[in-house]
Copies of this chain bind each other. A is one copy, B any other.
Amino acid sequence: MPTSTAPGKIYLFGEHAVVYGEPAVPCAVERRAAVTVEARDDDRVVVEASDLTLDGFTVTFDGSTADADPELDVPTRLVQSATGYVEEAVAQARDAADAPDAGFELSIDSEIPLGAGLGSSAAVAVAAIDAATRALGVTLPREELAERAYRTERAVQEGGASRADTFCSATGGAVRVEGSDCRRLDAPELPFVVGFDGGAGDTGELVAGVRALRERHAFAADTVTAIGDVVRDGEEVLADAPAGSPADESTLAVLGGLMDFDHGLLSALGVSTRSLDAMVWAAREAGAHGAKLTGAGGGGCIVALDRTDETERALRYAPDCVDVFRAELATEGVVRT
């Protein structure tokens, strides 16, 4: 039975500004979704999911209807969203393998917190499509995998999907995204620490808020451009460091300074929150080289750069932080076993 895993991602730089054509640098991180698939003799799809919030969730797809366990203690929206992802991923796998009537048993196990802005859905889509096609004897190139996972997200999220998430999950590493162009960057190893406040912002509302500010005030448009300039500086720093080796302290210091600046600009644009700022300060005061919110903001996660255990320890005791973990840059995207 083929198992595929795919990593989640954080934004090192550039979220929100990327909506207006500025570049951004998401990075795959070593927190993975694993999907094991077995081909069935019939055309049915059976899913078993166990992860942070969908533990014990088992659902059987039979044609177009999906019935979740009525005992299930998770919001219906999340179940529908999860089943929607699997349904679309299965459709992509059938299409890629030219097997419209293929049936599957999928087992999903994710260590990426759901709804935290860490790209858990993209990782599940990538791993599911990859494992399902392999169960049919087809191994997709990573670019096609990324594209099909993107279509999966786009179908479920109704237009709000980002190519960056699925590209990151499929290819791994640090990625440069600008418009619809995604490409992998040479980058050193980066010691990320992620703190999660247990919340999640409404991405659509947050993007709309930035858009309104940007349309109303020239200085807000300039702030978006300044984020793009931070990203361009950050890319140069990544390119100057030896790829694949641990980043040295001076590289971490410069990247951390850029992360701090980016966080301030995002705060000006109104997408930070009390708890995100509190976690950012806990990390900085613990000696992190820099810290920023990651993703859309409004709650969710921060990412800090720290090779020591101090940031992790500080966040573990920070009242606003419900989960903290080290998540090194994932140089591998999808991994097949």
Contacts and interface: CB of A to CB of B under 8 A. Distances in A.
A281 B277 contact: yes
A206 to B, nearest CB: 14
Contacts of A282: 274
Interface in A246-297: 260-270, 272-274, 277-278, 281-282, 284-285
A306 to B, nearest CB: 16
Nearest to A230: B219
Interface residues on A, range: 20 to 34
Interface in A13-41: none
Contacts of A273: 281
A284 B225 CA distance: 27
A69 interface: no
5 contacts: A219-B227, A223-B265, A264-B264, A273-B281, A274-B278
A325 to B, nearest CB: 22
Interface in A212-266: 213, 217-220, 222-223, 225-227, 229-230, 233, 260-266
Nearest to A260: B270
A268 B223 CA distance: 10
Contacts of A270: 260-261, 264
Nearest to A226: B219
Interface string A198-221: 000000000000000100011110
A259 to B, nearest CB: 11
Nearest to A265: B268
B263 A274 contact: no
Contacts of A285: 274
A195 to B, nearest CB: 14
A15 to B, nearest CB: 15
Contacts of A261: 213, 217, 219-220, 223, 268, 270
A240 B227 CA distance: 32
A261 B217 CA distance: 11
A264 B265 CA distance: 6
Contacts of A272: 264
A205 to B, nearest CB: 16
A131 B217 CA distance: 46
